[in-house]
Structure 1
Amino acid sequence: MKIRARYRSLRGVSAAAVLLAVGAVGCSDVSEAVDGAKDGAKKVARQRSVYSLDIGDCYNPNGKAEGTAYSVEIVPCDEAHEGQVVGEFAVDKDGAFPGDDAISAIADERCPVEAQKYAPDTWGLPKEAALFYYTPTGESWTTGDRAVSCTYVADTGTLKGSLAGASSLKPEQTTYLKGSNGLYEALWAHQPETDTVEDDLAGYKAQAKAVAAALDTHLEGLAGIEGAEVGRLRTTLAKAAGNWKKAANAADADAFYIAYDPAFTGIDPNESVAARKELGLATTVPADEAEVWAG
């Protein structure tokens, strides 16, 4: 999943005016001009400062897709739109502005979590939806701005309808998604920066320990869900958990590799498709995940 920053601006919505100039033209041209003016007036009326964005708002950005934003156009979610706010949080930092990179690192970690609270089944998201965020600037930080707005934006084309999904889920669906999302968050959040285990065995073992813990939590949730396919998935994940624990306790790189191969294969998202179907959840593995497990 791609995450890119879109920085907020200190300023809110600036004053705007619509100028309509009608000369000696035909009736059809006047009609088109009037319609255009009406559309322009509607867009102006829908402008809102990025400071006042709320979870659930659907909107169209003004200007470029990335960079400093002053305002956005709020639109009904049943209209075609480019983005929707799906989460928000406040940066827990005082003192001087920590810098764009530091703020982005916090948003990289927090926004996926906040977004999943609003739209838990990430498999059901439109394929063009990518996670962006609005963050404070150095200038707005001095005024007390600490808010980060997490938002899905269409990489290409537009979105239609709300991405909200949490309120419509059944208890067993919520339990499954919470465990599954936690599992893959643990995997990627603890991914070492080095390419080989030999260069950071401790880091890879720490990742394995985190994944094993997340698997235990997921398995505990699955134990309370009925269904033959869910039961089969639980058996598969239990084996994977054992291998992740072996990797976490590996004495050397060779022992780690021996445990890691079946551990990683055991959490292949394709293994959960049948259980997801049984639970009434989305069953198409996202392209980026499918690519990872395809090797």
Structure 2
Amino acid sequence: MSIPPPPGPQLPQDPQGPHGRYPAPQAQGPYGAQGPYGAAGPYGPHPSYGGWGPYPPPGLPPVNGAAIAALVLGILCFLPGVGLVLGLIALRQIKRKGERGKGMAIGGAVLSAVGLALLALSLSTGAVSAFWEGFKEGARENVIVSPDKGECFDAPDGSLEGETYDVEVVPCSGEHDGEVFATVTLPGGTFPGDDRVTKFADDRCYALAGAYAMDSWALPDHVDVYYLTPTRETWSLGDREITCLFGNTDGKGSLTGSLRNDGTTLDADQMAFLEAALAIDAAMVEEPEAFPEEDLAANRAWAQDMHDALAEQGAALEARTWPAGAEQPVAALAEELASARADWAKAAAAGDADTFYVHYDEGYGFHDGPATVTAREALGLDTTPPDGASGETAPEADV
């Protein structure tokens, strides 16, 4: 299907105010865009991949509705006679209209025919009941295929837009269409509707992306967040899982190699550094939508939160024993955070919008600067800020 998600957190406004205010880059702290990922996060504006949705991708004919109904009835073994008839009708319609779904129509008709045969047999004996239950369960598992966290896959048509009832799990080391970074199970009950499922998927997937790819500086610029979601039809088969994944920004290009960088791939020092970054990012993305001249109190309260986050994480960086080669670079970064913290304290106490802007601008001086790049290099992390970040390139290493 192709169900565009509702937009994520709003993009920052254009620079405004007497001091050329530039709002906080979304999910970007002193270590890059590593915080909660909104639609304007390190992956850019993101289309969604509603993997089980009802709408065909652009340029492809629609799936025949009778074919879907025949497949569902065949799998559930509900009204097998109706499923058989619908399958035959679907085949005629597909041939006449050029629609997709021939495989589903044939599968539904075959399953319904088997159901009719077994139903007739069950009238004279109950020996087939156990077999039939196992057959139906296997059919359900084969129809709803969802890869697990850390797995990579190829979509049938190579596109992350449109509908699919199957994907092929492939090694992440080679080319692939998508890489799963999280799965979320929806509560049971009646189907909540496409809009609510999409909104839930959008919120949860962007929030979980940073836990799988903690160092967003290491993510290529062509990476987007997508997701697979249940539809009304698959919901009736027991599908409750949302699959969050990374894919190419154009929805059709491939990725090569795993994007995972978390506790399974990072060492303890890298993890400590990035966890501090995530905490600062979490405060940064809470910047009020209203400008200081519109709501000074809200902006002052947020500036205090920034001060507190920098104080806590700066202290954490100073307290840790770092490897010999990283000790001095991380200490220099901690000093820079302390200087920025003082400006955020002044912004939190500003009596007017103009004063707030002055210290706001100064407070962002730490963001993705040379000290951040040098500390990252010493810890073996990526040193190229994400596209659009304000950092400078890494200094040349001494030979």
TM range (shorter): 0.7 to 0.9
Aligned partner of 2:20 in structure 1 is none
1:275 lines up with 2:375 in the alignment: yes
1:60 lines up with 2:138 in the alignment: no
Q: Which amino acid aligns with 2:309?
A: A
Label 1:50 to 1:211 Cα distance change in 2 as closer, same or farther (>3 A): farther
Aligned partner of 1:85 in structure 2 is 180
Pick aligned residue for 2:288 from 192, 201, 211:
192
Q: Give the deviation of 1:124 after TM superposition.
A: 1.1
Aligned partner of 2:267 in structure 1 is 170
1:234 lines up with 2:334 in the alignment: yes
Q: Is the 8 A contact 1:201 1:252 kept in 2?
A: yes
Q: Which amino acid aligns with 1:260?
A: Y
Aligned partner of 2:279 in structure 1 is 182
Q: 2:389 aligns to what SS in structure 1?
A: helix
1:118-168 deviations in whole A, cap 9, x for unaligned? Answer: 222111122321222233446656777553322111225421122222212
% identical equivalent positions: 32
1:148-190 deviations in whole A, cap 9, x for unaligned? Answer: 32211122542112222221211111010111123223322x1
Pick aligned residue for 1:125 from 204, 219, 233:
219
Q: Distance in 2 between matches of 1:245 and 1:50?
A: 53
Q: Distance in 1 between matches of 2:295 and 2:237?
A: 42
Q: Is the 8 A contact 1:92 1:146 kept in 2?
A: yes
Q: Is the 8 A contact 1:233 1:275 kept in 2?
A: yes
Pick aligned residue for 1:284 from 375, 381, 384:
384
1:76 lines up with 2:76 in the alignment: no
Q: Structure 1: give runs of 5+ residues left out of the alignment.
A: 18-46
Q: Is the 8 A contact 2:51 2:161 kept in 1?
A: no
Q: Which amino acid aligns with 1:201?
A: L
Q: Is the 8 A contact 2:160 2:247 kept in 1?
A: no
Q: What TM-score does the superposition give when structure 2 sets the normalisation length?
A: 0.56
Q: Which amino acid aligns with 1:219?
A: G
Q: Distance in 2 between matches of 1:287 and 1:69?
A: 32
Q: Is the 8 A contact 2:144 2:234 kept in 1?
A: no
Q: Which amino acid aligns with 1:77?
A: C
Aligned partner of 1:211 in structure 2 is 306
Choose 175-184 or 212-221, whichever is displaced more: 212-221
Q: 2:220 aligns to what SS in structure 1?
A: coil
Aligned partner of 1:152 in structure 2 is 246
Q: Is the 8 A contact 2:179 2:245 kept in 1?
A: yes
Label 1:69 to 1:210 Cα distance change in 2 as closer, same or farther (>3 A): farther
Q: Is the 8 A contact 2:146 2:243 kept in 1?
A: no
Q: Is the 8 A contact 2:333 2:372 kept in 1?
A: yes
Q: Distance in 1 between matches of 2:207 and 2:278?
A: 9
Aligned partner of 1:7 in structure 2 is 50
Q: Structure 2: give runs of 5+ residues left out of the alignment.
A: 1-41, 54-67, 76-100, 105-140, 392-399
Q: Distance in 1 between matches of 2:346 and 2:52?
A: 49
1:230-265 deviations in whole A, cap 9, x for unaligned? Answer: 000000011212322332343332232122111122
Q: Distance in 2 between matches of 1:203 and 1:93?
A: 39
Choose 116-125 or 156-165, whichever is displaced more: 156-165
Q: Is the 8 A contact 2:150 2:180 kept in 1?
A: yes
Q: Distance in 2 between matches of 1:214 and 1:228?
A: 22
Q: Distance in 1 between matches of 2:240 and 2:342?
A: 42
Q: 1:6 aligns to what SS in structure 2?
A: coil
Q: Distance in 2 between matches of 1:51 and 1:265?
A: 48
Aligned partner of 2:344 in structure 1 is 244
Q: Give the deviation of 1:7 after TM superposition.
A: 1.7
Q: Distance in 2 between matches of 1:215 and 1:119?
A: 22
How many residue pairs are counted as aligned between the two chains?
260
Pick aligned residue for 1:222 from 303, 317, 342:
317
Q: What TM-score does the superposition give when structure 1 sets the normalisation length?
A: 0.73
1:95-114 deviations in whole A, cap 9, x for unaligned? Answer: 872762x5555544433442
Label 1:89 to 1:129 Cα distance change in 2 as closer, same or farther (>3 A): same
Aligned partner of 2:91 in structure 1 is none
Asked which structure has the greater CA Rg, the reply is 2
Q: 1:78 aligns to what SS in structure 2?
A: coil
User: Which one has the bigger strand percentage?
Assistant: 1
Choose 65-74 or 121-130, whichever is displaced more: 65-74
